[in-house]
Structure 1
């Protein structure tokens, strides 16, 4: 019998339930939606979670498509799922937990006696480190972004090669291999010996069908490669960036992007221009390095210093 919260499944069974993480302001219990798929045969354990940031919904879209397709009679091992991590932010369609104004993916490994976010992080961290592999499904918030997978443990980490292999198997096409900030699940779980990646499935407001499908394909790539399911998986070469440059606007105005997501850019190439409301150019921003146009803001209006776009640099094929 495998249990996650109130979900409990014997071999060959599927169950759903709730993982209790505290109470709301009116004293009602808060339970994260969880599922256990327990295969008929022994094997590894995979933990999947989504909506660590409350407005990043593509991962939820992946979960709701993957789970109905999983037949425990055909599965070796166990799959644990938390469908919505940042419960409070999800309810109000915000990025950060409004109870404590915290970005959940900076709170790991959490604290069972701490703030709302720390308690949620602690509960989901316990589930994550009980597994052999972890997929923490994200997206580029509401910005526009390519589909990519992030390896956040750092190149000197003892599990770096395992995390990088998992990212390649997931197969979004692009990998950002750069050590992440403290408090990320993909930083904290490898310290406990569990290879973990952070697929960033595009960026949108609401659903993005192509990115969701890319995530579904990625999950099944992992399931076949690591022998949860029968099938042959061929890992395709991925374009990897080990650097990441962000560009803000030196002036206020309206942004005209000069390149598209996924384009190769050269040092000195124009990334964007900023005009006033009458169309007069105020600034032209060029790339500092060769790379790939990775991410961009969605709205055209910017203030001085406001984020506009990012370029992945130090590109190779892995």
Structure 2
């Protein structure tokens, strides 16, 4: 019998339940939705989670579509799923946990006696550390972004190659291979010996069907490649960026972006112009380095210094 919170499943069974992470302000229990899919045959364990940032919903859409397709009688090993991590932020469609104004993906491995976010991180990390592989499903918040996977352990980490392989198998086509901030699940779990990636499935308000489809395909690629399910995976070459440059507005006004997402840009190429309301160009911003046009803000209006776009740099193929 395999359990996660109140979910429990014998070999060949599936169950859903709740993982307690404390109480809400009215004293009722706060429980994360969880699922256990226990394959009929022995094998490894895969852990998946979504919405550690409460407004990043594409990962929830992926799990909503993947889980009903999983037949435990046809699977080997175990799949542990936390469908919504940032419980409080999800309820109000915000990025950070409103109880303590904290970003969950900066709190791992967590603290079971700490703040609301630290307790959620500790509970989900307790589930994640039982796994052999981890998929932490994200998106580029509500900005616009390409579909990509992030390898966050750093190139000198002993699990770097295994994490990079997992990203290639997931197969978004783009990989950001750059050491991440402390407190990320994709930083903390490799230190426990578990290959982990952070698929960033586009960026939108609500969810985007194209990015969700890419995520569903990525999950099934992982299931087939690592022996959870039958099937073969052809791993295509990925475009990898090892650097990430962000650009802010040098003046206030309206932004006119020049490249398309995913387009290669050259050093000195125009990335965007800032205009006044009548189209007069106030400032032009060019790329400091060659790379891939990776991410942009969604709204055109900006104040001085406000984020506009990002370019993935130090690009190669692997």
Which range, TM-score by smaller chain? over 0.9
Structure 1 runs not aligned, ≥5 long: none
**Structure 1 residue 108: Cα displacement:** 0.4
The residue number in structure 1 matching 2:171 is 171
**Structure 1 residue 207: Cα displacement:** 1.3
Deviations 1:36-61 (A, max 9, x none): 00000000000000000000000000
Q: Equivalent residue of 2:283, what SS?
A: strand
**Structure 1 residue 232: Cα displacement:** 1.1
The residue number in structure 2 matching 1:85 is 85
**Structure 1 residue 241: Cα displacement:** 0.3
TM-score (structure 2 length as normaliser) = 1.00
- How far apart, in 2, do the equivalents of 1:127 and 1:160 lie? 22
- How far apart, in 1, do the equivalents of 2:232 and 2:110 lie? 37
**Is the counterpart of residue 117 in structure 1 residue 113 in structure 2?**
no
Mapping 1:1-318, distance limit 5 Å: 1-318=1-318
Structure 2 runs not aligned, ≥5 long: none
- How far apart, in 1, do the equivalents of 2:205 and 2:307 lie? 18
**Structure 1 residue 97: Cα displacement:** 0.2
In the comparison of the two structures, how many residue pairs are matched? Answer: 318
**Structure 1 residue 143: Cα displacement:** 0.2
**Structure 1 residue 278: Cα displacement:** 1.8
TM-score (structure 1 length as normaliser) = 1.00
**Structure 1 residue 314: Cα displacement:** 0.6
Q: Equivalent residue of 1:131, what SS?
A: coil
Deviation >3 Å, runs of 4+: none
Q: Equivalent residue of 1:242, what SS?
A: strand
Deviations 1:238-284 (A, max 9, x none): 00000000000111110000111000000000000000112111100
Cα RMSD after superposing both structures: 0.4
